Structure 1
């Protein structure tokens, strides 16, 4: 099934590079707070966030994008979003804001390239390309299963 193209995206920064998520997947933005470790979770899971009583796995975007690790900072943002059937939080350096897309700004061809599993397309902006990510494919099947098992052991499953 092909995902419909987004009309609006959230732009965010990681290590000085811009990325985007479809707004349909984004629930809210929150400031980073101390995370609770989640033993036995996949390496891409940084920990758990207790957001008003809802326990959310925090995905380590730096690890996924092979960027250098850095300690959690109070200036970091957490993007609360849907990744398939699960709500997650993504730690990013900074959320830049919303961008309404024009029809000619999105090129979906990168999703056809090998090795770009969680890329849904590229945004052609005046100041360069920005990769649009598909959170439904962000975790591999094995990582999703490992996460479910870790959350169940902690009593924090969906």
Structure 2
């Protein structure tokens, strides 16, 4: 099963097994020093979850100039790591035969983050490997940002008297 979504006019997908939850876009909070691909942080039951704007990460137009664009955007909360992906819109959940996937060479995309392509009605869809979205340095920086956000949330929790 694959979760198909749009991203700045492109159709992409990730494996359903990598998805913990699909969410409408809530209000995010931003730290003043966070890098552009980090759209902000989601407070999920007291846990600071960094939100990666995939359009910005991939250098695509993010639609911020369109005032209504953010109303219908979605978050894809990942299962293996406390990170959510900001996408234009989740479209569908599809079953797909593995033999219909056409592998993409690792060197064709940064860090080999697009692992395959497949065809659906209306064109090609890029299958993204979530474990290869970030370079190791980016992953470590994101962990540091998350720790700082967690510390900030902790400061707002009620202290025992």
Common fold: TM-score over 0.5: yes
Whether the aligned pair in 2 keeps the contact of 1:42 and 1:147 (CA below 8 Å) is: no
Q: Which runs of 5+ in 2 are unaligned?
A: 153-161
Larger Rg: 2
Cα distance in 2 for partners of 1:87, 1:156 equals: 15
Whether the aligned pair in 1 keeps the contact of 2:47 and 2:150 (CA below 8 Å) is: no
1:111 CA displacement: 3.5
SS of structure 2 residue aligned to 1:35: coil
The correspondence of residues 1-158 of structure 1 with structure 2, limited to 5 A, is 8-71=1-64, 73-82=70-79, 85-108=80-103, 110-116=104-110, 117-155=112-150
Cα distance in 1 for partners of 2:146, 2:32 equals: 9
1:156 CA displacement: 5.3
1:126 CA displacement: 4.2
Cα distance in 1 for partners of 2:151, 2:13 equals: 28
TM-score of the aligned structures, taking structure 2 as reference length: 0.80
String of CA shifts for 1:124-157, please: whole Å, max 9, x gaps. Answer: 3343221100111111111111111222223359
Q: Hey, which of these two has a bigger chunk of strand by percent?
A: 1
Residues paired across the two proteins, number: 147
Whether the aligned pair in 2 keeps the contact of 1:20 and 1:133 (CA below 8 Å) is: yes
Cα distance in 2 for partners of 1:93, 1:21 equals: 14
Cα distance in 1 for partners of 2:83, 2:23 equals: 12
Q: Hey, which of these two has a bigger chunk of helix by percent?
A: 2
Q: Which runs of 5+ in 1 are unaligned?
A: 1-7
Whether the aligned pair in 1 keeps the contact of 2:48 and 2:150 (CA below 8 Å) is: no
